Structure 1
Amino acid sequence: MPEQLSVLLPVWAGDRPDFLTDAFRSSVDAQTRRPDQVVIVRDGPVPDPLAETIQELAKGSPVPVDLVELEHNVGLGPALDAGLAACKHDVVARMDADDISLPHRFAVQLPIIESGADIVGSGLVEFADDPDEIVATRTVPTDPDEIRRRARFATPFNHPTVVYRRPLVTGVGGYTDFAKMEDYLLWAKLILADARVANVAEPLVRYRVGAGAYARRGGRDLLRAEIALQRRFRDLGFTTRAQYARNLVVRGGYRLVPEGFRRSAYRKLIAPYRR
């Protein structure tokens, strides 16, 4: 039976109006199987040009758009939880305000959900300025057992690509306020709840890699977030003691190495790539 789909798209003050326009239209107007609702979460005040773009997109959308306006910037996890509460349909697709969905994205992913999966992600391609000039392809495990194994060391889903069942996500507590690691923690909770997991190898999203992308994946703040995440995994029983120790050494060390080494390590260990 065909499922109805809500697209969950958070926006904050740092987003660009032109990037948001591309993200929205690629995920709505250009889709061969369009969503049935879009929920835009405005995470705190935004500049006037961005606010105007949000209103224009909502007004001109071929599908209903609901705007959740948060008074203060609360961060990605709480903003997404607020957006989930506004989603009218049980199936929700994530979309970021600076990425681009390929036209057949939902036509590929929704039948997998309809066949019984609780969450399905996909590969993605990275670009810098021109969406047609691909920098690299980020691959994902597709075998459900491999997805679960991979999750004990690195995130098994590309967050901007996922489609999932909202009741299951909210049933495990949603994203919560776990800054910088909210998506990975959610995947762990879903796997512990025996969610039926799936990935499509084909890249279905074009992911914008801005300046400083690898610099932002390191530093002491990220190290503290990494340690907190690994402790949470251990408390949940998601990882063994050996896996916990390995992750602290490998993933924690990754946060402190120079940016050039971090780029290489990320592509070889944390998120496999191919060119």
Structure 2
Amino acid sequence: MKLDLSLSVLMSVYYKEKPSYLDECLKSLYEQTHPANEIVCVKDGILTAELDSVLLKWEKLLPLKIVGYEENKGLAHALNFGLSYCSGEWIARMDTDDVSLKDRFEKQLEFIVANPGTMVLGSAIEERFYRMNQCYHKNIRFYEDNIDKTSELLYRGTPIGHPTALINKNLLQRYLYSETVGANEDIELWFRILHDGYKIRNLSFPLYVQRINDGMFKRRSSVKAFKEFKIYVKNLYALNGFSFKLIYPCLRLIVRFLPKKCVELIYMSNLRRNILS
């Protein structure tokens, strides 16, 4: 199948990222069976010398476009900033501490070509849980393959893994990421897109490896947890009115305040699919 769609990878890196993770991330882009036309990497603030060294190394091997600014401004701002430098028809998101499997872009673009009208496409995720730099658990996280504003999955969590997303550039330019919702810029974006009648598609097999460190299971601050809760309840009510399914965001809010070990066990169990998927 001829894949003549142009593709830009959009990512953001900041000073706390581990150089080895960034190196693995860029290596996975180098090994793609269908390479991206360009990789736009936003320096969200001044980086360490080690991180800059990794970028310089891969700048010689990849179509890497490094842009940025001196003050850390958060992921939403970085992605909006970087989007203005993207020339591709399609935008592939990726986090700088993760890995794209080598056929990710090939498989996603094949689906786009075969399914005209698709505007947002993700995939399942291979999750790898790390403690002290050792992987101690693996899991495959699946998402529904065809999601609209009436999908029940929305009550239980995000409809797509943000870093797996391949997004039509014109669509993303129209909506952009909200810079006022904290770390919830992705789910807030999906709600706006779904509200306007677009669908989100997902491939049923993993094309992305996500690194989950045990620091993720620490209890969230009350401000962050309630901000996430409000986004879900407000948007779900706007989409479908009152429903007893709104109990799911309430359950998820409770989980956010559980002890770290309890949250970790839930993430690695089937219970997560029913509450946190």
Question: Is the alpha carbon distance of 1:120 and 1:234 closer, same or farther for their aligned partners in structure 2, counting shifts above 3 Å?
Answer: closer
Corresponding residue number in structure 1 for 2:40: 39
Instruction: String of CA shifts for 1:204-226, please: whole Å, max 9, x gaps.
Output: 1111111212115x341332322
Counterpart contact for 1:91–1:165, Cα < 8 Å: yes
Structure 2, unpaired ranges of 5+: none
Q: Is the 8 A contact 2:229 2:250 kept in 1?
A: no
Aligned position for 2:91: 92
Provide the C-alpha distance between the structure 1 equivalents of 2:209 and 2:160, rounded to a whole number of angstroms.
Answer: 15
Supply the RMSD in Å over aligned alpha carbons.
2.3
Contact 1:148–1:191 (CA<8 Å) still a contact in 2?
no
Question: How do residues 126-205 of structure 1 correspond to structure 2 at under 5 angstroms?
Answer: 126-127=127-128, 128=130, 129=133, 135-145=138-148, 148-205=151-208
Normalised by the length of structure 2, the TM-score is 0.87
Aligned residues: 266
Alignment-mate amino acid for residue 13 of structure 1: Y
Tell me the distance in 1 between the aligned counterparts of 2:201 and 2:243: 26
The CA distance in 2 between the partners of 1:226 and 1:124, in whole Å, is 22
**CA separation in 2, counterparts of 1:147 and 1:36?**
35
The corresponding residue for 1:2 is 4
In the alignment, the residues of structure 1 paired with residue 246 and residue 147 of structure 2 have an alpha-carbon distance, to the nearest angstrom, of 25
Aligned twin of 1:107? 106
Which stretch of the first structure deviates more once superposed, 103-112 or 150-159?
150-159
Taking structure 1 as the reference length, the TM-score comes to: 0.87
Distance 2:148 2:194 in 1: 11
3-state SS of the aligned residue for 2:181?
coil
CA 1:51–1:243: 2 relative to 1, 3 Å: farther
Percent identical among aligned pairs is 26
CA distance in 2, matches of 1:70, 1:238: 37
After TM superposition, give the deviation of residue 238 of structure 1 in Å.
Answer: 2.7
Counterpart secondary structure, 1:202? strand
1:21 aligns with 2:23: yes
CA distance in 2 between counterparts of 1:268 and 1:88 reads 37
Structure 1 distance, partners of 2:154, 2:178, is 16
Q: Which residue of 2 aligns with 1:81?
A: 80
